[in-house]
Chains A and B, each alone.
Chain A
Amino acid sequence: MNKNKAKGAIRPKQAREGFFGKFGYFWARALTNFKQNLFVSMVTVATITLALLLTSLFLLVYVNLQGMAEGWSEKVQITAYFDKEPTPLAAAALRTRVEAIPGTKKVRYVSQEEAVQRFRKRLKGQESLLEGITADVLPSSFEITLDRDHRDGAELDRYVKALKKVAGIGEVQYGEEWVKRFNTFMNFVRIVGAVLGTFLALAVLFIVSNTIKLTVYARKEELEVLGLVGATRFFMKAPFLIEGVLQGALGAVLSLALLTGCYYLFLNNAGNFLSVNPAAYGILFLPPAYLAAIFGGGVFLGFFGSLASLRRFITI
């Protein structure tokens, strides 16, 4: 017996069946269900709100650590001394060759005079030590800043090797030890971030999905009755899914509102207080892409949490 005949033999399909015909009904049903089960709905929204707030606070910390790292890595600077003092023309030619090395961001020429001035500044109060020292004692140099991608590990080593090959460049200094320690620290931060982030994501998924499961469980009678009066699987699921999406979206909006509140009340100026960020722009707020992702995460949790829970209770 084919499918159409089977359906037709029992009862014809109604004109308003199908997604668009019933969308208005599903939407209204979802809103009514939300109101009729207000307490349970609010518990779900609150759970999603807290879960996403935790996640966004975590992201806020992570984003700021990355910003801080970015700021610190700006300090990775290479000082290249010349074999012998170059003429201005030779220095210009050398600069062009150094700039041609991939990864070079900025090359700054530090003349002998400037070097001595810096040295004096550093020894302020003990000028007597510098008596009789002229500019010739200190060599002139290039201070080179690198692109973001060339600031760590192997890339930096490769750059330094390439630099040393340039004829006219003698000694090259770049705080090797500092870079190594910094990279180790950043790797540690990344690993800890990934581990904590994974645990957090799992905890959020577990808590939210179980809360939604409980809310669906609380209404299993409704699903049972709908099944008995001949509702299709789609008809049963649609209002629950819309409700899930609404709860997820509401939870996300609330969590972002709370996050914004926390940020402006407590965190905005904390950077200055802590003075950990070398760029001194205080603690950054999450970029728009992250905010959109958190909102999307809320909707995702609501929708798939409901979908997964419904599977358990809809048997047809």
Chain B
Amino acid sequence: MIQLHHVHLSYPGESTALSDVSLRISKGDFVFLTGPSGAGKSTLLKLLYADLKPTRGQVLIDGQNLAMLSKSQIPYLRRSIGVVFQDYKLLPTRTVLENVAITLEVLGWGKREIGQKVYQVLKRMGIADKVNAYPPRLSGGEQQRVALARALVNDPKILIADEPTGNLDDANKEEILSIFKEANVRGTTVVVATHDRRVIENSHRRVIRLEKGHVVEVVDEQK
């Protein structure tokens, strides 16, 4: 599903962010990406949804070499990838329904189908009663669930999350993780960047450890 071959990335005028990173994440995998701040976790995630291009090396998603994608093709790649951020990136002037609906509107869904699908996914997240609320009125955990709903509403092939539990208490962390697991069970490949050891240790999933732009360790807890 995801393959990186000898990927190098350096920001102009700065030191190298990623250096000779090669990895393979199979379809249906659940992978944690970990490492200290500045290790290159976010950079690696950005490569996956084509927000950045590698300086050298190749990134393949579902067999497709992202280097070959033109700018106008990037949106079509992103429609198969759900992305979640630590700061949620919800639109404060739009309701929960409208925030989640964006993903389906982009795909050209009708209003009615959107309403039904969004309600289903919010129910799955346990926040169906917040459908008409505005994000600033929600708690951190609820906001993260709305962000997750937006990422998962079109059943993406890949779910990418950058520090999704960073701002949450333990109970919320558990719940968010269980949503990731559920999505994974449904067939979505999940890649979560986090430096939260407890989250990783309790999950028993494959862990890729980055340090200073290098992959230093790959631990497959399931084996």
Measured in the bound complex, the distance between the Cα atoms of B74 and A3 in whole Å is 11
Cα-based distance from A6 to B75 in the complex (angstroms): 12
Residue of B64, B94, B109 touching A10 (CB-CB under 8 A): B64
State how many angstroms separate the Cβ of B83 from the closest Cβ of chain A: 5
Q: How far is the CB of B59 from chain A (nearest CB, A)?
A: 14
The CB with the most chain A CB atoms within 10 A, among B63, B89, B106, is that of: B106
Q: Which of A22, A221, A226, A316 contacts B74 (CB 8 A)?
A: A316
A222 adjacent to chain B (CB < 8 Å): yes
Q: Mark B72-89, 1 if CB is under 8 A from A, else 0.
A: 111111111001000001
Q: How far is the CB of B183 from chain A (nearest CB, A)?
A: 16
With a cutoff of 8 Å between Cβ atoms, the chain A residues found around residue B202 in the complex are none
- Verify if A150 is at the interface (C-beta below 8 Å from B): no
Chain B nearest CB from A40 CB (Å) reads 10
B77 near A231 (CB under 8 angstroms)?
A: no
Q: Measured between C-beta atoms, what is the minimum distance from A216 to chain B in Å?
A: 14
Q: A22-B108, A225-B102 are in contact. Are A6 and B73 (CB under 8 A)?
A: yes
The answer on a CB contact under 8 Å between B75 and A230 is yes
- The A-contacting residues of B in range 109-129, CB under 8 angstroms, are 109-110
Task: State which of A14, A21, A225, A235 has its C-beta within 8 Å of the C-beta of B91.
Answer: A225
A11: Cβ under 8 A from any B Cβ: yes
Give Cα distance in the complex from A209 to B150, angstroms.
Answer: 33
| Contact status B106-A16, CB under 8 Å | no
B78 interface neighbour in A6, A16, A25, A229, Cβ under 8 Å: A229
Please state if A229 and B68 are interface contacts (CB–CB under 8 Å): no
Q: How many residues of A contact B (CB 8 A)?
A: 31
0/1 interface trace, chain A 31-44, chain B, CB 8 Å (1 if under): 00000110000000
- A99 contacts B by Cβ under 8 Å: no
In the complex, A7→B150 CA distance in Å?
22
CA distance A230 to B153 in the complex (A): 13
Complex Cα distance, B77 from A316, in Å, reads: 12
> Is A224 an interface position by the 8 A CB rule?
yes
Query: For the complex, what is the distance from the CA of A1 to the CA of B69, rounded to whole Å?
Result: 9
Contact (Cβ within 8 A) A230 B79: yes
* Residues A17 and B63 in contact in the complex (CB < 8 Å), given A10-B77, A228-B49, A233-B72: no
Contact of A1 among B68, B71, B103 (CB under 8 A): B68
Does A15 count as interface, using CB distance less than 8 angstroms?
Answer: yes
Cβ of B222 within 8 Å of any chain A Cβ, yes or no, is no
What are the residues of chain A within 8 A of B62 when measuring CB–CB?
A: 9-10
Q: Complex formed: what's the CA distance from A7 to B64 in Å?
A: 10
Q: List the B side residues contacting A229 at CB < 8 Å.
A: 78-79, 102-103, 106, 150
Instruction: Please state if A228 and B93 are interface contacts (CB–CB under 8 Å).
Output: no
Q: How far is the CB of A84 from chain B (nearest CB, A)?
A: 87
Least CB distance from A229 to B in Å reads 4
Rounded to whole angstroms, the CA-CA distance of A227 and B46 in the bound complex is 13
Question: Once the chains are docked, how many angstroms separate the CA of A233 from the CA of B72?
Answer: 8
B105 to chain A, nearest CB (A): 7
A260 located at the interface, meaning its Cβ lies under 8 Å from any Cβ of chain B in the complex: no
- Give Cα A10–Cα B79 distance, bound, in whole angstroms: 8
Question: A9 with B63: in contact, given A228-B49, A228-B89 (CB under 8 Å)?
Answer: yes
Distance A6 CA – B63 CA, assembled complex (angstroms) = 10
Instruction: Give the interface centre of A10, A13, A232, A235 by most chain B CB atoms within 10 Å.
Output: A10
Whether A230 touches B78, Cβ cut-off 8 Å, given contacts A6-B64, A6-B69, A7-B73, is yes
Q: How far is the CA of A1 from the CA of B83 in the complex (A)?
A: 26
Q: A227-B78, A230-B103, A316-B72 are in contact. List 20 more A-B contacts (CB 8 A).
A: A1-B64, A3-B70, A3-B73, A6-B64, A6-B76, A7-B76, A9-B63, A10-B76, A11-B79, A14-B109, A17-B108, A22-B108, A25-B105, A228-B83, A230-B76, A230-B79, A230-B106, A231-B75, A233-B75, A316-B71
Going nearest first, the 8 A-B pairs with the smallest beta carbon separation are: A230-B79, A16-B108, A14-B108, A230-B78, A36-B93, A229-B103, A230-B75, A231-B106
27 contacts between A and B (CB under 8 A): A1-B64, A7-B76, A10-B64, A10-B76, A10-B80, A11-B80, A14-B107, A16-B110, A21-B108, A22-B108, A25-B105, A36-B94, A222-B91, A224-B89, A225-B89, A227-B75, A229-B78, A229-B106, A230-B76, A230-B103, A230-B106, A233-B72, A235-B75, A316-B71, A316-B72, A316-B74, A316-B75
